Amino acid sequence: MTCMTLLSFDRRCSEIVAQTQLLRGAIEGADLTRPVPTCPGWNVGQLLRHLGGTHRWAEEMVRTRATGALPDQHFRDLSPYAEEDAAEVAPWLVEGAELLAETLREAGPDAELWTPVPDFGQVAGGRADFYARRFTHETALHRADAVLALGAEYTLDQEVALDGIDEWMALGSLPMHFEVHPWMRELLGPGRTLHFHATDTAPEVAAEWVVDLTGDAIIWRRAHEKAAVAVRGPLTDLLLIIYKRRPARSAGVEILGDEKLLDFWLERVSFG
C-alpha cells in the first residue's frame, strides 16, 4: 500500500488544533441546539462536548502512557449538554485540542501505549502516532457534522482529505473486524471490487482507491483499475460518503456498475 500522502506526525498534531479552530469559527453565534442528522440523537452542542471530551481522553491516554482504555462515560453520556452556549463551549473546545497536540508532541510518535487496534500496515497501533492521526480525522469529520448541521458548506484541505481516506481504508480492512464483526465476511466474494476516484485532483495526486473483496481478506490499494463498481466525485465528497456523512447518490457524484455492491459495502464496513 502506498504511503505517499501520509501526513507527518507534526502536521497531524497541528491539524488537530487547526480543524478545531475552524470548527470554532463555524459555531460562532450559532444555535447549538440544532440537531445533527449525521449523529442521531445529538445536537450541535452535544457533538462539541463529545469532541472536546475525546480530545481530553486521548490526551490523558498519551500523557499517562495508558496500558488500557481509560473511562469514557464523560463523552458518551451527553444528556447534560442539551443547552450549550457557543461562547462558553468554543474556548473549552480549543483548549482541549491544544492540550492534546502539546502532549502528543512531548511524547513523540513512537511513545508506547494502549490503542484500540493492533499495529498493522498503515495503522500505528500501540503508539502515540495512532492518536495523532485518528484525532486529526475525528476532528475533521466532526467538524463536518457540525458545519453541515448548521447549513454551511464544508471544505477540507486536500492533503488532510487524502490521508483521511487512506486511514479509513486501513482501519476498515483490519483483519480483527472478522472476529469482532463476523458478518463482514459476507462481503467477500468473486468479482467484488470497488473503485473510488476523486475527480477534482491532479493526476499526480493519485487520488484513486481500489477495495478488493475477492480473496479471504479485505485488501485496499491506491490504483487506477476497473472494478465491479466505480464511484467518481470530488475528493471531500468521497471522504464524506465512505464515512456515511453524505449519501452516495449525491449531486456531483457518479456511480458506475454494481450499485448494490456499493450499498452492501457501505452498510457492512465500519470501525470504532
Give residue 181's pLDDT: 85
Rounded-to-integer distance, Cα 118 and Cα 266, Å: 23
Domains of the chain, by residue range, sit at: 9-154, 174-268
Global pTM reads 0.94
Q: Long-range pairs for 127-130 at CB < 8 Å and ≥24 separation?
A: 128/62, 128/104, 129/9, 129/12
Give residue 2's pLDDT: 34
Banded model confidence at residue 3, pLDDT cuts 50, 70, 90: very low
Give residue 15's pLDDT: 98
Give residue 183's pLDDT: 87
Average pLDDT over every residue of 178-206: 94
Give residue 5's pLDDT: 45
Average pLDDT over every residue of 72-87: 91
Share of the chain above pLDDT 70, in %: 97
Q: Residues of 67-77 as b/e, b for ≥16 C-beta within 10 angstroms?
A: eeeeeeeebee
Give residue 38's pLDDT: 95
Q: Which CATH superfamily is domain 174-268 in?
A: SCP2 sterol-binding domain (3.30.1050.10)
Q: pLDDT higher for 271 or 238? A: 238
Rounded-to-integer distance, Cα 117 and Cα 171, Å: 8
- CATH for 9-154 is 1.20.120.450
Banded model confidence at residue 185, pLDDT cuts 50, 70, 90: very high
Banded model confidence at residue 65, pLDDT cuts 50, 70, 90: very high
Give residue 244's pLDDT: 95
Q: What is the mean pLDDT of the chain?
A: 94
Banded model confidence at residue 271, pLDDT cuts 50, 70, 90: low
Banded model confidence at residue 231, pLDDT cuts 50, 70, 90: very high
